[in-house]
Amino acid sequence: MTAAAFVAGAALGWIGVGLSFAACVAGDGWKIGPICWLGTLTASAIVLVLLASYAPRIATRAVLPLCVAAAVICLGLI
Amino acid sequence: MKDGFRQSMAWLHTWSGLLVCWILFLVFSAGTASYFRNEITLWMKPELHRAAAGPVTQADAAAHAMRTLQERGAHAPRWFITLPDERSPATRIRWTNPTPPGEARGARARPNSEMLDPATGDVLSAARETRGGEFFYRLHFDLHYMPALWARWIIGFCAMFMLVAIISGIITHKRIFKDFFTFRPRKGQRSWLDAHNATAVLALPYHLMITYTGLVTLMFMYMPWGAQVAYNGDRETFFAEAFPNTAQKSRAAGETAPLTAITPLLQQASLHWQGGRAALITVNHPGDKNATISIVRAGGRDLTHARPSMLFNGVSGALISTAGDDIKAASETRGVLYGLHIAHFAGPLLRMLFFLSGLAGCAMVATGALLWAVKERQKHAKALAQGGRAGFGLRLVEGLNIGAIAGLPIAFATYFWANRLLPVQLEQRPEIEIRCFFIAWAVAALLAQLRPTRRMWQLQLWTGAALFAGIPLLNVATTHSHLGVTLLHGEGPWAVAGFDLIVLALGAGLGYAAWTLGRNRRPARRTQKGVAPNDIPDQPVREAA
C-alpha cells in the first residue's frame, strides 16, 4: 500500500467515525446519542476483531459493502 | 524507584487486578445480568406471560389498580401502585395493613403485594414467588448471606482496586493505539494478552464509566465527610436537598372523604412533564379527608437517575407541590452518574449494547485472571515438565479461576432451572432458588480446588453449556410461552423470546470454549499432562456471564 492510499484510507475512516457520531446524535439526541455512539463503536470493533482473526477473507471482502451500507444508514439518519 | 514508571505500573496492575478478580467477575456477571432484570423477572414468572402480551393505557391500568385497592386495602394507611411499562407488563400494587389496636405502635407493618392484570385489574394470583432478576441486582453490590453494609464495603474496596487496575493498565499498555484491533489466536500466552487487551481497550469507555459510577452510587456511604462538614451533621436537610421529593409526613384527619379520580391527575402530570409518563403512584391515607396522591415520573430520555414528582390533594385533586423539576448542579451531576450506571434511559438497542459491553467486562476480568496463571506456569515450565508439582499459589489461582469463570455460569443456569423445576407452591420458594444458585457454585468451586486441571475446565464448561442451552428446551416442557410460541407464532412477550435466545447463545459460547479446549488437547498430550501454557484455549471464555 502506498503512503497516499494509506492517508486516503485513514481520512475516509475518520470521516466515517465522525459521520456515525452525527448519525447517533441525530437519531437519539445530544443526551443519549453519544452513549449510543460509544456502544456502537465498541460492538462493531469487537465484531471486526473477531472477523479479522477467524475469518480474514470474509472480513476483507465485507469491508467495502459494509462501509457503503453504514454510510447510507448514517446519511439517512442525519 | 528502582524500576521505571511503567514497570511499577505493571506491577500495580497485576496485583490490584489479581487480588480482587474473582469478586469482580461475580460483580460484572451479576451486574450485566441486571440490565435485563425486569425481563429476567418476567421470564421467571411464566404465569404473567399471557397478561404481558396486550398493551393497555396507563390511565386504565391506574384506574383498575385504584379500584382493586379500594376493595383489598380499604383501611391501609398507604397504597403504592407501580404502573406497567414495556419492560414489566403487570401492574404491581402494595399496601400495608393497619396496626391492630392492642399491638405496640411501630410494630412491623405487614406489607401486602399483588400483581394485577393491567387490562382488567384482576389479581394474577397464580404467579409463582421468585426474586427473579432482583436477586442478581442485589447480588452485585449486597452479595448474600452477610449484612448488606459489610458487602457494600467489600464491593467498594474491590471497585476501587478495579479503578486502580484500569488506570495502571492503560499506562502499562505501551502499544495501545498500534495494537488496537490486534488479536492473534492460537498463540498461547500471546493470545491471552491480546484478548485481555482487546476486551479492555475496545470497551474502555464503558469499563471506566461503570467502575467510577459504581463507586458514585454509594459515595455517601464511602465518603460522608464532605456532606457532614457542609451541613454541620444535619443529615435530614442534606438528604432532602440531595434527593428532592414530595414525600411529606401528614396525619390522617379521621374523617372519611371519597378519593378523587386518578385519570385527570395523570393527565395533568403528563402535561407538566411535557409528555413524560408516570411510573409510581403513592396514595397516603386513602379515604380520609387529608388524603394525598403523589405521582413520580418514569425515567425518560434523560440520563439522570433523579425522578421529578408531583403531589396532589387526594380529595379535591388540587396540585399541592412539585419536586425535582429544577435540580441543582451537584445533585444533577450525581443523578447523571448514577443514571449512567443503571441505564434506565436505555431503549432495547442501547440496552443490548450495554449488555454486550458488560460481557466484554466479564471477559476482560476472566482473561486477566487466566493470563496471570498462564504466565506463572510459564515461569515454572521447566520444573513442571520434569514432573514437579505446581506451587501452592498457582494451584490456588487456577482452582479459583475454574470455580469463578466456569463455575459461575453453572450457578446462574441452576438458578433458572430451579425456577422451573421446584414445585410452584413450595414454602420459601425464592430463598430456595437462591440456595440452589449457591450450592451449585459451591460444588463447582470445591471440585475446582480439589482438581484444578484441564479436564476440570472442560467438565465445568460443558456442564455450563448444557445447562444454558437446555433452558429453552426446559421451557418447552414446563411452560406455554416457549420459543415455539413466542418466536414461531409471534405471540407472547418479546422479552421472553429474547431471554431464551440469549441463554442459548451463552450456552453455545460456553460449548465453543469447551470444544476448543478439547481440540487443542490432543497434540499437547504427547508432551505433558495437565494444563500446559501453550495449549489453553485461544478463545477466551468471552461469553461467560
Q: What is the pLDDT of residues B10-30, one digit of tens each?
A: 999 999 999 999 999 999 999
Bridge partner residues of B95 (DSSP): B79, B112
Q: pLDDT category, A66, cuts 50, 70, 90? A: confident
Q: Which of B184, B303, B350 sits opposite A39 (nearest CB)?
A: B350
Chain B, residues 302-321, CB within 8 A of chain A, namely: 302-303
Choose from A14, A38, A42 for mutation: most chain B CBs within 10 A.
Answer: A42
pTM for this entry = 0.88
Evaluate if residue B534 carries a pLDDT over 50: no
When the pLDDT of each residue in chain A is averaged and rounded to a whole number, the result is 87
Closest CA to B62 of B216, B196, B262: B262
How many angstroms separate the CA of residue A71 from the nearest CA in chain B? 19
* pLDDT for position B290: 87
Bridge partner residues of B78 (DSSP): B284
How many angstroms separate the CA of residue A29 from the nearest CA in chain B? 9
Q: Which of B183, B350, B353 sits opposite A49 (nearest CB)?
A: B183
Q: Which of B205, B346, B356 sits opposite A43 (nearest CB)?
A: B356
* pLDDT for position B213: 96
Contact status, residue B516 vs residue B539, Cβ threshold 8 Å: yes
Closest CA to B26 of B131, B155, B215: B155
How many angstroms separate the CA of residue B245 from the nearest CA in chain A? 24
When the pLDDT of each residue in chain B is averaged and rounded to a whole number, the result is 86
Mean local confidence (pLDDT), B162-186: 89
Q: pLDDT category, B92, cuts 50, 70, 90? A: confident
DSSP B90: S
How many angstroms separate the CA of residue B302 from the nearest CA in chain A? 7
CA angle B307-B115-B434, nearest 5°?
90
Evaluate if residue B104 carries a pLDDT over 80: no
Residues of chain A with Cβ-Cβ distance to B354 below 8 Å are 39
Sole residue written with cell 469447551: B514
Q: pLDDT category, B217, cuts 50, 70, 90? A: very high
Q: Chain A within 8 Å of B181 (Cβ-Cβ)? A: yes
B301–A31 C-beta distance less than 8 A: yes
What ipTM does the predicted assembly reach? Answer: 0.91
Mean local confidence (pLDDT), B520-536: 44
Residues of chain B with Cβ-Cβ distance to A48 below 8 Å are 181
Q: Which residues are within 8 A (CB) of B14 and not within 5 positions of it... i.e. 6 or more apart? A: B372
Counting Cβ atoms within 10 Å, is residue B36 exposed (0-12), middle (13-18) or buried (19+)?
Answer: buried
* pLDDT for position B421: 95
Sole residue written with cell 400494587: B93
Contact status, residue B83 vs residue B91, Cβ threshold 8 Å: yes
Contact status, residue B310 vs residue B294, Cβ threshold 8 Å: yes
* pLDDT for position B247: 63
Is the backbone of residue B114 left (phi > 0), alpha (psi -120 to 50) or beta?
A: beta
How far apart CA B454 and CA B530 sit, in angstroms, is 6
Residues of chain B with Cβ-Cβ distance to A39 below 8 Å are 206, 350, 353-354, 356-357
CA angle B280-B286-B292, nearest 5°?
60
How many angstroms separate the CA of residue A57 from the nearest CA in chain B? 15
- Chain B residue with minimal CA distance to A36? B350
Mean local confidence (pLDDT), B88-112: 68
Evaluate if residue B528 carries a pLDDT over 80: no
How far apart CA B79 and CA B343 sit, in angstroms, is 27
List, for residues B294-307, the tens digit of each pLDDT value: 999 887 667 888 88
